Structure 1
Amino acid sequence: MAIDGLIILDSAGRPIIQSGFRSSAAAYPLLHIDALNNALENAPRPDDVDPVLHVSSLNVDAPAACCHAKVADMRILCPISGDVDPLYAFAFLQTFVDILREYFGHISAETLKDNFDVVYQLLEETLDSGGHPLTTSPNALRDIVLPPSLLNKVLSVAGVSGLASPSASSHPFASPIPWRKAGVRYNNNEIYFDVTETLEAIVNKNGTPAVSNVWGKVESNCKLSGIPDLLLTFSNSQSLVDCSFHPCVRLQRWSRDKTLSFVPPDGRFKLMEYRFAPVSASSQNQTAVPLMLRSVINVEEHGGSFDVTLTSRLTTRSMESVSVELFLGEGASSASCIASHNASWSFDLKTLSLRWEMKNVSPSASYTLRGTFSSAAQTPRPSRAFRVRFDSMQHTFSALKIDQLKMTGELYKPYKGMRGRSLGDIEWRW
């Protein structure tokens, strides 16, 4: 058994695009659409709906399930039946979403409706009639399905269709390497690497991390001529575990000496993903949290008061876009605060949450927020944890850097560049 197809719903839960479902009855996709809409209608919040829903199948011997994900203002459904791992469906679903972003940039229901012919062509090329993924490399798809552009539409309307079609030298599957185009040429040969690491942690009220993990990814933008064969060596690569790679990476070379040997695709692609496991961490390979949060919260009848202090533990880098959120409990009606350093705060009546925002937190600096809140509940029950998020440019938790980049197969010397970025999503208990 395999994936049965894809269904794209708009914000109102109505289908706008779906696969052919050749091997299923006409009512089969409707069962999955109804299952998701009913689950969303009965759930207190949309996020509470299970990403995998059981669906009453027309065939008792083949139980069915609906795997779904929210993308922008839409829902994308991936029906499966029989003995199929849901992760297999989610992997294809995410791949198809990445392809849509590659083609259209911003994804919305209006964008897909305006380019439904391109979306249907992509569905035909990425998923065969048996439900197995087919061509999912953007470089190969561009030779088969032309990306939408104003020039192509104008030439098509004018009746000059020959100019809007690819040249004979770039026919589909002309390259022996499926993820790289044939005959690529650039005036300036360069390749860039973006390293993004996200810290996900739960911190006890005494400041000790209960759970602390760093997940990273290396994205590349390749503008190299010909068919270059690259050998990339990172510093501190021994601390990277649970790695996954683009199909271009030779796994045996990584397993042997922790270097990346690959022929890169043309353009943007995700080279690898990993988890950072520091060897020198105090316990269980956990990463230190780069901030400290101290809070004093007093809950009284129909309200309470709070005094929160955030201190940066970084000594050389600033943290940007720092936000601290606290759910004030059911019945919360208002809040009044004083924030230091011209920071901003707001109270959202829809989410009943207090949000404290700082555009830039300097190294080793401290920021405070003091205030009170009122509630219709006699005994308010605010959340027992803050949610802290931050962004830090030119900084990575793993200190990952390029040691060396060697190239064979071409005679020019490429320019290489690398930049890092770290994000944080922390639950800090009080």
Structure 2
Amino acid sequence: MTHLPHLQAGILPENINQDSCLQDYFGECSETTIKDNVVIVYELLEEMLDNGFPLATESNILKELIRPPTILRSMVNTITGSSNVGETLPTGQLSTIPWRRAGVKYTNNEAYFDVVEEIDAILDKSGTTVFAEIQGVIDACVKLSGMPDLTLSFMNPRLLDDVSFHPCVRYKRWESERVISFIPPDGNFQLMSYHISAQNLVAIPVYVKQNISFFETGSSGRMDITVGPKQTMGKTVECLVVTVHMPKVVLSANLNATQGTYNYDPVTKILVWDIGKLNPQKLPNLKGSLSLQSGAPKPEENPSLNIDLKIQQLAISGLKVNRLDMYGEKYKPFKGVKYVTKAGKFQVRT
């Protein structure tokens, strides 16, 4: 193994997705997890990096090099003094397809793809879009026997002009035919990421009617916010949350929510309105008064609203998978595609 001065300096190359690898091993990537598994984390990073450069970053290959931790294995290692490092080089490292281990066999052959899009947007007071773009990824969970060769095609591939692919994708095929052709890694991986920055292609899923005002006298203010669906293609908006970072002079909020619950923290000055599922027949409204610090000057600017939401079975860009075909193997796998839209940095100015 190569000694890595980068680890001692606490510097990691940005293009290594170490978070997803650690999540595959431990279920989550947190400070506690890293502390509890510091030896395995160090072993993983030593295999992932060669003199500071990315080397082995596929989790299915790494699991052959460094066995995932279990309670039994930890007990055996403690008693015998052995480690989780494998004794043989992974089969994939010796082939022309280094991201896939050889001899993969499954009783149920399945391939699932999740199209996940995050919309970043800034809307002005009148609801006009100031800025909007979409960050999208296609996450895959492929559990197929043998050495399958897959092709994934889209109904509208012209939407995708700024893309980044997993190394398994044959880029020339994409350039010529706009078809993703690849021999997949075994298990979970990110097939591709894309970015859509043309504002005319970015649909805004909700609209916000709001009025926040602070009075010159009386140390008080008013708030009135209503949220409704805009371009959701008939899908339901879920997990809707409105967050407002209030000015420091706001002491308390006396509000009435027609749907969901609200909470105002007088220390952090953050108001959170958790709406939940958006009902288009009865739009949620938050209305009431704000109490300000006595004698303090009126806030110079109104606070912005940050919107969080989720829409199942919808890619807000309109991207749709047309078909998934498999070659090289004779069995018929079970295939599935799921879409989800989330809010990234979604802000409404008041």
TM-score above 0.5, yes or no: yes
Match status 1:230 vs 2:145: no
Q: Which residue of 1 aligns with 2:40?
A: 118
Distance 1:419 1:225, change over 3 A: same
Pairing partner for 1:348 from 255, 260, 265: 265
Distance 2:46 2:90 in 1: 20
Distance 1:234 1:250 in 2: 16
Distance 1:172 1:154 in 2: 29
Instruction: After TM superposition, give the deviation of residue 328 of structure 1 in Å.
Output: 1.7
Pairing partner for 2:229 from 312, 317, 341: 312
Distance 1:328 1:158, change over 3 A: closer
Q: Which residue of 2 aligns with 1:332?
A: 250
Instruction: After TM superposition, give the deviation of residue 297 of structure 1 in Å.
Output: 2.0
Aligned partner letter, 1:293? V
TM-score by length of 1: 0.73
Contact 1:329 / 1:381 at 8 angstroms: preserved in 2? no
Aligned length: 341
Instruction: After TM superposition, give the deviation of residue 380 of structure 1 in Å.
Output: 2.8
Distance 2:22 2:88 in 1: 26
Q: Where do 5+ consecutive residues of structure 2 fail to align?
A: none
Distance 1:328 1:277, change over 3 A: closer
Per-residue CA deviations over 1:207-233 (Å, capped at 9, x if unaligned) read 111111111110000000011111111
Q: Which residue of 2 aligns with 1:190?
A: 110
Indicate the SS of the match to 2:262: strand
Moved over 4 A (4+): 157-162, 164-172
Indicate the SS of the match to 2:130: strand
Q: Where do 5+ consecutive residues of structure 1 fail to align?
A: 7-18, 21-28, 30-76, 80-88, 279-283
Distance 1:356 1:345 in 2: 4
Contact 1:211 / 1:286 at 8 angstroms: preserved in 2? no
Q: How do 1:24-43 and structure 2 match up within 5 A?
A: 29=9
Contact 1:312 / 1:364 at 8 angstroms: preserved in 2? no
Q: Which residue of 1 aligns with 2:275?
A: 358
Indicate the SS of the match to 1:90: coil
Match status 1:90 vs 2:17: no
Indicate the SS of the match to 2:50: coil
Distance 1:111 1:339 in 2: 39
Q: Which residue of 1 aligns with 2:204?
A: 289
Per-residue CA deviations over 1:377-401 (Å, capped at 9, x if unaligned) read 3313454421111111111113333
Q: Which residue of 1 aligns with 2:241?
A: 323
Distance 1:429 1:364, change over 3 A: farther
Q: How do 1:6-405 and structure 2 match up within 5 A?
A: 6=6, 19-20=7-8, 29=9, 77-78=10-11, 89-92=13-16, 95-129=17-51, 131-157=52-78, 173-276=93-196, 284-300=199-215, 301=217, 302-313=219-230, 314=232, 316-341=234-259, 343-363=260-280, 365-376=282-293, 377-381=296-300, 383-405=302-324
Match status 1:406 vs 2:328: no
Indicate the SS of the match to 1:320: strand
Instruction: After TM superposition, give the deviation of residue 359 of structure 1 in Å.
Output: 1.0
Distance 1:158 1:78 in 2: 33
Distance 1:247 1:315, change over 3 A: closer
Aligned partner letter, 1:358? I
Distance 2:184 2:233 in 1: 37
Indicate the SS of the match to 2:275: strand
Per-residue CA deviations over 1:240-275 (Å, capped at 9, x if unaligned) read 121001010011111111110000000000001112
Per-residue CA deviations over 1:268-292 (Å, capped at 9, x if unaligned) read 00001112367xxxxx534221211
Instruction: After TM superposition, give the deviation of residue 141 of structure 1 in Å.
Output: 1.4
Distance 1:171 1:195, change over 3 A: closer
Aligned partner letter, 1:148? P
Distance 1:298 1:112 in 2: 47
Indicate the SS of the match to 2:72: helix
Distance 1:167 1:78, change over 3 A: closer
Distance 2:209 2:75 in 1: 61
Distance 1:286 1:171, change over 3 A: closer
Provide the alpha-carbon RMSD of the alignment.
2.5
Instruction: After TM superposition, give the deviation of residue 165 of structure 1 in Å.
Output: 7.8
TM-score by length of 2: 0.89
